[in-house]
Structures are given as C-alpha cells and as structure tokens.
Amino acid sequence: MIKYALRRVLLTIPTLFAIVTIVFLVVRVIPGDPAVAALGDYASKQAVDALREKMGLNDPLGVQYLRFLGDLVRGDLGKSMITGQPVREQVLYVLPYSLELAVFAVVVGMAFGIPLGVYTAVKRNAAVDHLGRVFSLTGLSVPAFYLGILMMLLFAIKLRVLPATGGGDLGDWEDNLRHLILPGVTLGLIMTASVTRLTRSAMLNVLNEDYIRTARSKGLAQRVVIFRHALRSALVPVLSVIGIWIIGVIGSSVTTEMVFVRPGLGKMLVGAILQRDYTTLQSIMVVYATMVAGVNLLTDITYGLADPRVRY
Amino acid sequence: MKSANPVAEPIQLRSQRQRQWHTFVRNKTALLGLVVAVLIIIVAVFADDWFIALLQDRDARPLFALFEPFKQDTFNRLQAPDSVHLMGLDDYGRDILSRIVHGGRVSLIVGICATLLGGIIGTTMGVVAGYMGGTVENVIMRVVDALMAFPGLLMGMMILAVMQRLPGSGLTKAIIGIGIIMTSGFARVVHATALTVKGREFVTSALSIGAGTSRIMRLHILPNILGEVVVLVSLQTAQAIRIEASLSFIGLGVSPPTPTWGNMIKDGMQHITYAPWLSVFSGLAIVLTVLSFNLLGDGLRDVLDPRLQE
C-alpha cells in the first residue's frame, strides 16, 4: 500500500508540471500585450514599457518560464500586476475561507447523498424514488449561484436567521459558522444530487448480485443486508468519482463566493480577471491546479485502500 | 395451449427505429424534456419577427417577446410584476420577460454552437485516438487529460479572461471558450466506445478487403458510436448553457446591454433585497432549459441502451 501511495505521489509531479506549463503558455501565447490590457488602450507608451520591464515581459519566453517555475518551487507566487502586492500573502489570507467552504459542502453532500441514494435504491420505483430522481436531476440543472441567491432570499432576507454576505471572523467560530452555513449548504445540496444519483445506481447493481440473495436466504435482517453487505461494495464506485465532485464543488465555489460576497480564492480570481491582472490570474490558477491535483491524489489513495485490486 | 398450435402466431414486426421510438415515448419525463426544449427554442427564435424584418429591411417588431428588450421606461423602474409586465421591470424600466426571451437566444446559440463545435472536434479526436492507437492516441488523450485538469467553469474563466485581449464579439468568444471545454467530454467517451468497436468483426473484414484508415473511421467506426454522441450532445448542451450562465454572471462572455440570463441575474443582485424578481425569473429560465435538455439526454440514453428495450 505504501508503495502504491508513493507511486501516486510521484505521478502527481509531472501532471502538476504540465498544468503549470499550460497556464503559463495560455497567458503568454494568446496575441495581445498583457501590459496594454492591464493599463488600458490609452496608456502612454512609457507607462506600458515600464510595466513590461517591471514584469519581465521583455525577456525571452524561456527565461520568463524558468523564472516562473523557479519562483513557484520556492513558494513565491509573484506580484500583482495592478497593485504590486505579493500574491502569496493575499492567497494565504483567503485560502482558509475557501477550504472551509469546500470541506463543509463535501460533508453535507456525502451526509445527505449516500443515505438518500441507498433509500431510493431500496424503494425502487416507489414514489420516493421518482421524487428522488426529480430532485437529483434538478440539482444537476440548477447553477450554484442561482441556488445561492434563492437560499439568501429565503433565509437571510425573508426569515433573517442567517447573515446574507461576508465570511465572518475566522477567530470567532460561531460567527464564522453562521456565515458558512448558507454558501456551504448551497454547494452541498448540489453535490448531494450527484451523490444520490450514483449511490442509487451502484446500490441497484449490487442488490442484483448472488451474494445478496444468499444473505437474504440466510434470513439476515434487511438492515444488515443493506448496510453490511450491499452498501460496502456499492461505496467503491462512489469513492472512485468523489474526486470529480470535489473538483466540481471547487469550480462552483467561484460563483457562490461572489453571491455571498465571501472572501475566497474564487472571488480573488474574478477580481483579477475583471482587472486584467494576469500575474495574479496565473498564480491563482496554479493554486487551484495544486488543489485539484491534491484532491485527485487523495481519491486515488482512498480508492486504493477501499479496493485492493487497483493497487496493481 | 398456444405452443401446440401448428400455425405460428403472426409476430408483430418492428424495426429498430420503431422500437426505440416506442421506448422513448413511453418515458414520460424524456418526452416532457423534448417538448419543453422545443418550445423554448421556438419562443427564442420567434421572439421578434426578424425574418420578415430582414426581407422588408426594417427593424424587428416583438412577436413572442411582447415588448422590446431595450426599450426603457425610467418612470416605472423596478416595477413589480403585474398583468401587463408579467415579470416586472428592471432598473432601467425594461420588460424582464421580454429580456428573458431575448436572453434565451444568446444562451441557446452559445449552448448549441459550443456543443456542436466541441462535439465535432472531440468526436474526431476520440475516433482517431481510439482507432489509430499508439503515439497518436497517447498525445490526444494527454491533451484531453490536461483539459479536464480544471473544473469546466475555471477553465472557461481562464480562456475567456485571456481572450479579452483579442478583438471579436463576446458571443464568438463564448462559443469558442465553452466549445473548448466541451471537447474533452466528447473525446473521452467516444475514445472508450471506439476502442470497443475497433475489435469487432466488421472492422477486420473491412481491413481485409483493403479499406483505408480514413474510410474505416468514417464508414465503420463513426456510425456505430453515433447513438452515444447524440446522447452526449443533449447532456453537454445542458452543461454548456449552465456554464454560459455562470460565465456571464461573472461578467465574462456576451456583454451588456445584450441580455443574457447570467448578466440579468448579476444586474439584479444590486436590488435583490427589495426587487428580487430582477434575478429570480431569469434563474428559473436557466433551470427550466438546462433541466429539459438533461431529461431529454437521460431519456435518449435509455432508448439507446438495448437492455431496457422490450
């Protein structure tokens, strides 16, 4: 198992390297001058030249690439093209907000999705099952930011039980949690839809297996058959795609952070895009890529633990 | 007993198409998806009489959209929904329902064109990778992996952000950006299916009578994966519309004053506490449209899965 885990870790390095290279190239290769884009079409030639020199845009592409890589290895995310502030500090400030949001959403998604999937599979073709199907297809169709707005309208504006905007004080856990619930449940509900759908179909597959019939014919209680025999193997395919859902949550968190005006990586990214701050944009994409690679690595390792066959 | 009867019972013969149509029609939710999707397309296309206007060389007049989407009525701005303006007026006093109908054009054009663009490129990549194998397969599939390294929305944000520098309309950029994201989904599924088709007897037989690589891919592999592609087109159109809405909510893609569902929601956010209708109705339009394409795709998948047919 340790050997398998180590191999996975080593395989992550070339993937990360490739993604960093793609991000670098996409920002550089597309025609147009990032300095002009940042300063606007009416900037003086001197100002553009000064910014190009400061950002090192006059150096050959290879030199820029190596410098970018070297900085990253040392944990330096560069400076913002607009404000000149180091990107790293800002990222470190907002990262906890984004991480707690993602973790909260994933917990909600699994906590509701798995039981719901099991229940609808056991009650196949009953009214509950059809209702579950409508729920999960709607969940797959509603954009996160819209669900967020509806939640905000109901719980923050109409009922006034939770704050509408902001991220709360990280030091004060109660305040922090109150600000986390609405965006977290929004993302969590959307994830619940996918988890329910997959758990249901995985359970249906397993429930047709011979060993389930054997377990039933032995006279085991329904509860034991469902949870001890069926759910255990049904969870393996669920685990194998959990990474894809977490990555989906990370993607949807961008618009959700905007709706709830929550500090976070997503809101920072949108700010960088609207200000045409290409250095910040590039660094945030690298941070996201690292998060995605980390999620994939964790999924692979958990999957290896759950299903020994994939280790070889 | 019937089996003792020496004369065989007349068997009701049905072609593959008839059987598939039968399965589809029996699936009520899929049929509902198809009907709603077609209705949405019709309303968006005939929002105004542009086709007559084009012939008579005049401005288009409203048809399904009862009012003009840009006409302002600043005295009645933020007016709540009533019997004349069913969904109310926005902060410039423009009729929201009419703007939603016109915004539907943008969403559908971007959604469908981006899916077709991604579908054509992705399917080609998948077939070539699956059939040719070797280095070609490796290179193509690594590109697909790289495209899937980011969530679709983040990838779209990066592509559109960088494309801000390029000349050209927001509509074209949105189609290209979302089209690139759609590519990887098609390539991955088609590649897997092409691999299974590749080993079938008819491919070997075509090879043995001297058919070329391109001929085999076009006439033997492609027709056999078309069903899968049709399902994907429907599901991916739903995804593309959702991504377009998210991108225009962020402020990327098609820019104001052209209404899109995403930018209408964004503009409405400033008045969300006292005029929620500005954002709520356009969101409903997104959910309805995406849901109908998802239902349709789900139903089509059932139809093309032979295990579910009688």
Q: Report mean pLDDT in 10-residue bins for chain A, 312 residues.
A: 83 81 78 70 78 76 84 82 83 91 93 92 86 87 92 88 81 86 93 91 87 87 85 83 85 91 90 83 88 85 78 63
- Mean per-residue pLDDT, B133-152: 84
Burial (Cβ within 10 Å: 0-12, 13-18, ≥19) of residue A162: middle
Distance CA A178, CA A199 (A): 30
- Mean per-residue pLDDT, B280-288: 92
Q: How many CB atoms lie within 10 A of CB B16?
A: 9
Query: Which pLDDT belongs to residue A312?
Result: 59
Dump pLDDT digits (tens) for B201-217.
Answer: 898 899 899 888 889 88
- The single residue listed with the structure tokens 């007016």 is B79
Q: Within an 8 Å CB–CB cutoff, is residue B296 touching chain A?
A: no
Residue A193 contacts residue A114 (beta carbons within 8 Å): no
- The single residue listed with the structure tokens 């409508």 is A134
AA letter at A151: M
Which carries the bigger pLDDT value, residue B9 or residue A306?
A306
Query: What DSSP string runs through chain A?
Result: -HHHHHHHHHHHHHHHHHHHHHHHHHHHHSSS-HHHHHH-TT--HHHHHHHHHHHTTTS-HHHHHHHHHHHHHTT---B-TTT--BHHHHHHHHHHHHHHHHHHHHHHHHHHHHHHHHHHHHTTTSHHHHHHHHHHHHHHHS-HHHHHHHHIIIIIIIS--S-SS----TT-HHHHHHHHHHHHHHHHHHHHHHHHHHHHHHHHHHHTSHHHHHHHHTT--HHHIIIIIIHHHHHHHHHHHHHHHHHHHHHHHHHHHHHTT--SHHHHHHHHHHTT-HHHHHHHHHHHHHHHHHHHHHHHHHHHHH-GGGG-
* C-alpha to C-alpha distances, A19 to A29, A62, A291, B80, B82, nearest whole angstrom: 15, 17, 12, 48, 52
Q: Which of the four pLDDT bands, split at 50, 70 and 90, describes residue B109?
A: very high
Give me the residue from A23, A252, A278 closest to B153, CB to CB.
A252
Asked which of A20-24, A165-169, B156-160, B244-248 is least confident by mean pLDDT, the reply is A165-169
Task: Find chain A residues with C-beta within 8 A of B252's C-beta.
Answer: 273
Half-sphere exposure of B152 (CA within 13 A, CB side): 23
Question: Smallest CA–CA separation between B42 and chain A, in Å?
Answer: 21
Sign of the alpha-carbon dihedral angle for B172, B175, B180, B181? positive
Q: Which of residues 13-32 of B touch A (CB under 8 A)?
A: 29
Cis peptide before A263 (omega within 30 of 0): no
Distance CA A56, CA A62 (A): 12
* C-alpha to C-alpha distances, B71 to B87, B91, B94, B282, nearest whole angstrom: 15, 12, 6, 18
Q: Within an 8 Å CB–CB cutoff, is residue B252 touching chain A?
A: yes
A145 contacts B246? CB cut-off 8 A:
yes
Q: Which of the four pLDDT bands, split at 50, 70 and 90, describes residue B8?
A: low
Q: Which of the four pLDDT bands, split at 50, 70 and 90, describes residue B309?
A: very low
Distance CA A259, CA A266 (A): 11
Which carries the bigger pLDDT value, residue B296 or residue B62?
B296
Task: Find chain A residues with C-beta within 8 A of B159's C-beta.
Answer: 26
Q: Is the pLDDT of residue B304 over 70?
A: yes
Q: Which of the four pLDDT bands, split at 50, 70 and 90, describes residue B65?
A: low
Among A175, A171, A147, which residue's Cα sits nearest to residue A162?
A175
Element (H, E) at B185: helix B170-198
Domain ranges of chain A: 87-311
Does the predicted model carry a pTM greater than 0.80?
yes
Distance CA B20, CA B5 (A): 31
Dump pLDDT digits (tens) for B19-61.
Answer: 778 777 777 778 888 999 999 998 888 877 777 777 787 777 7
Distance CA B145, CA A248 (A): 16
For residue B295, give the chain A residue with the closest CA. A137
Q: Six-digit token pair at B261?
A: 């569902």
Residue A251 contacts residue A261 (beta carbons within 8 Å): no
* C-alpha to C-alpha distances, B124 to B117, B119, B184, B223, nearest whole angstrom: 11, 8, 11, 13
Q: How many CB atoms lie within 10 A of CB A168?
A: 19
What is the per-residue burial (b if ≥16 Cβ within 10 Å, else e) of A45-69?
A: eeebeebbeebebeeeeeebbeebe
**Beta partners for B89?**
B95
Query: Which pLDDT belongs to residue A100?
Result: 92
| Residues in CB range of A149: below 8 A, 6 or more apart | A259, B265, B269, B272, B279, B280, B283
* ipTM of the complex, rounded to two decimals: 0.85
Among B65, B178, B47, which residue's Cα sits nearest to residue B119?
B178
Question: Smallest CA–CA separation between A219 and chain B, in Å?
Answer: 31
Give me the residue from B159, B162, B265 closest to A146, CB to CB.
B265
Give me the residue from A30, A149, A252 closest to B163, CB to CB.
A30
**Beta partners for B95?**
B89
For residue B161, give the chain A residue with the closest CA. A273
Give me the residue from B154, B250, B272 closest to A258, CB to CB.
B250
Distance CA B107, CA B178 (A): 12
Substitution target from A125, A255, A280 for chain B, most B beta carbons within 10 A: A255
Choosing among 3.40.50.2300, 3.30.70.20, 3.30.70.2860, 1.10.3720.10, the CATH entry for A87-311 is 1.10.3720.10
